[in-house]
Chains A and B, each alone.
Chain A
Amino acid sequence: MTTTSLDAVIPTEQAPARITIRGTAKTGRRFSVPRSVRRAAGPVGLVLLWFLTSATGVLPESVLASPVDVIQQAVELTKNGELPSAIAASGRRAATGFLIGATVALSLSLLAGLFRLGEDVIDSSMGMFRAIPWVGLIPLFIVWFGIEETPKIALVALGVTYPLYFNIYGGIRSTDSQLVEAARMMGLGRLGLIKYVILPSALPGALVGLRYALSTAWLALVFAEQINADAGLGYLMSNAQQYFRTDVIVLCLAVYALLGLACDFAVRILSRRLLTWRANFEGEA
Chain B
Amino acid sequence: MANSVEIRGLSRAFDGHTVLHELDLDIREGEFVALLGHSGCGKSTLLRILAGLDEEIGGEVTVPARRSAAFQSPRLLPWLKVWRNVVLGLPGRPDKALALRALDEVGIADRATVWPKTLSGGQAQRVSLARALVREPELLLLDEPFGALDALTRGKVQQLVAELWQRHGCAILLVTHDVEEALLLADRVLVMDEGRIAHELTVDLPRSRDLTAPEFVTLRARLLNWLGVTRTLEGTPS
Contacts and interface: CB of A to CB of B under 8 A. Distances in A.
Does chain A bind chain B?
yes
User: What's the dominant secondary structure at chain A's contact region?
Assistant: helix
A277 B117 contact: yes
B173 to A, nearest CB: 14
B89 A192 contact: yes
A185 B53 contact: yes
B63 to A, nearest CB: 12
A182 B124 CA distance: 14
Interface string B94-127: 0000000000000000000001110000000000
Interface string B47-81: 00001110000000000000011010101011110
A178 B89 contact: no
Nearest to B53: A181
Q: Chain A: interface residue count, which band?
A: 20 to 34
A192 B92 CA distance: 12
B131 interface: yes
A187 B137 CA distance: 12
B90 interface: yes
Given A196-B80, A196-B88, A277-B79, A184 B53 contact: yes
Interface of A: 178-179, 181-188, 192, 196-197, 200-201, 203, 276-279
28 contacts: A178-B71, A178-B75, A179-B77, A181-B53, A182-B69, A182-B75, A183-B77, A183-B88, A183-B89, A184-B53, A185-B51, A185-B69, A186-B68, A186-B88, A186-B90, A186-B131, A187-B89, A187-B135, A188-B88, A188-B89, A196-B77, A197-B77, A200-B77, A201-B79, A203-B79, A277-B79, A277-B80, A278-B117
Interface of B: 51-53, 68-69, 71, 73, 75, 77-80, 88-90, 115-117, 131, 135
Per CB-CB distance, the 3 closest pairs between chain A and chain B, nearest first, are A186-B89, A182-B75, A187-B89
